[in-house]
Amino acid sequence: MNSAPAGNDLGTGGCPVTGHRTPLYGPEFTANPARVYERLRANGQLAPVELAPGVPATLVVGYEAALEVLRNPGDFPRDGRRWAKTVPEDCPVLPVMSYRPNCLMTDGAEHARFRGVITDSVARVDPNKVRAHVEATADMLINQFAERGSADLLTEYAVALPLWVFTFLHGCPKDVGERMVTGMRDIVDMRDPERANERLTTALLELIALKRAEPAQDMASWMLAHPAQLTDEEILHQLFLMLGAGTEPEANLIANALRLLLSDHRFAGYVSGGSMRIEDALDEVLWTDPPVANLSASYPEREVLLAGRRLPADQPVVISYAAANTDPEFGDEHRSGNRAHLAWGAGPHACPVQGQARMVASIAIEKLLDRLPDLALGVPVEDLPWRESPFLRALAGLPVTFTPVRPVETAPETTQLPAVPAPARHAAPLPTAVRQRWKHAIIRWWRGQ
């Protein structure tokens, strides 16, 4: 860690020279975050920002400083409960940032225990089954719009596909899966987040009750049976994390790569180029438009020095994966042909399912381009709408056109979501008192109490 000259700090006052904090919200940021990162980087590896009006944070925009933070949980711990007490209860970034007992927001032995349950359960998943399921699901989704000649690939494909994969892996009934994903999207979009949180929590609890009552060969059951013996509450939080981490970024990787493939002349003729072109597009997106743009908040417990700056205690330090990846200090020569980008994070919290997540995106795109070879954007690329989020680089729509094609036969199990019987047939409905207790507990965690 560097030593800092006295007064060169990034405390609540903002830029040491101007006092200004750059907003990570609003039309300018949403329209072109790369330009904002470029401006911020001109002043060094760290930038004073606002995550929402009146919510200060330090954004790490340099590659070296990002790695230093991610690899040093001692100085940059993940538990933000003290910080959460300093922001209003209705602070719009709380639903994403407030503490939950999951592997993303814990450190040390607690983190290792939670992470072990996830990685051991993921290791039991047969990759061939996942591959076959993704291919068949992709076919089934494409069938739904193939004869129409147009589609919104975001909602009808990129978002839908990871949902199906998640529900398949966890053996979810269809309605439970749908409530989970719409709840998670509303939380990330800050749309009535308290109700969305409640809807999502109820759905996850139903899944846990179902799998406790009747374990099967799926991730949720393996997590419940893991020797670490997580409580229902702890399982709830790991599932909550995997749903958030697993569906939103995956959808954004698929959509951002499709956008690049369909708009950049370097990828014209991708069909004849085959899957290498898709891998190139995925690499480029992971470098320049990573699905998780700014996240991984840590909360120093005391003042710390980083990249020559003094950071205050209890104020979020947020990693800008998007800015760090395009840091000119790191150099273009490092980027070409390698995967040293930070799109999967780094250090003890690095994404535990990078290979699987990439495989799903790759299959999804390959299938689509095979079935609809003359796919084209339905609007000029600069007119594609982006979602307003300080955390994700996410399109709000991806309209496309293509020559209509006939539906193909799909494997029978993909014509509906995994054939898990309705919860009522296996698990007793949760008693009202239990639902209420969970609901209040979740709202307390959400507020960081």
Binding residues (CB under 6 A) for ligand HEM: these are 103-104, 115, 118, 241-242, 245-246, 249-250, 253, 291-292, 295-296, 321, 343-345, 349-353, 357
**What residues pair up with 298 in beta bridges, in sequence order?**
317
Q: How far is the CB of 251 from ligand HEM (least distance, A)?
A: 8
Q: How far is the CB of 348 from ligand HEM (least distance, A)?
A: 6
The two structure tokens encoding residue 380? 């000029």
The two structure tokens encoding residue 338? 């390698």
Spatial separation of the C-alpha atoms in residues 12 and 55, rounded to whole Å: 9
**Helix orientation angle between 275-288 and 232-263, rounded to the nearest 10 degrees:** 110
Q: How far is the CB of 188 from ligand HEM (least distance, A)?
A: 14
Of 253 and 306, CB closest to ligand HEM: 253
Query: Is the Cβ–Cβ distance between 389 and 186 less than 8 Å?
Result: no
Spatial separation of the C-alpha atoms in residues 30 and 19, rounded to whole Å: 23
- Rg (alpha carbons) of the chain, rounded to whole number: 22
Other Cβ atoms closer than 10 A to 302: 9
Query: Is the Cβ–Cβ distance between 142 and 161 less than 8 Å?
Result: no
Of 151 and 342, CB closest to ligand HEM: 342
Spatial separation of the C-alpha atoms in residues 398 and 396, rounded to whole Å: 7
Of 146 and 169, CB closest to ligand HEM: 169
Of 316 and 448, CB closest to ligand HEM: 316
Of 194 and 301, CB closest to ligand HEM: 301
Of 317 and 357, CB closest to ligand HEM: 357
Of 241 and 306, CB closest to ligand HEM: 241
* Residue 122 three-state SS: helix
The two structure tokens encoding residue 423? 């919860």
Q: How far is the CB of 433 from ligand HEM (least distance, A)?
A: 31
Beta carbons within 8 Å of 58's beta carbon, 6+ residues apart: 10, 46, 47, 48, 49, 309, 311, 315, 316, 317, 318
Of 222 and 402, CB closest to ligand HEM: 222
Of 310 and 341, CB closest to ligand HEM: 341
Identify residue 148 by its one-letter amino acid code.
R
Q: What is the 3-state secondary structure (H, E, C) of 65-117?
A: HHHHHHCCCCCCCCCCHHHHCCCCCCCCCHHHHCCCCCHHHCCHHHHHHHHHH
Give the CA distances from residue 176 to residues 76, 170, 434, in Å, rounded to whole numbers and listed in that order. Answer: 36, 11, 18
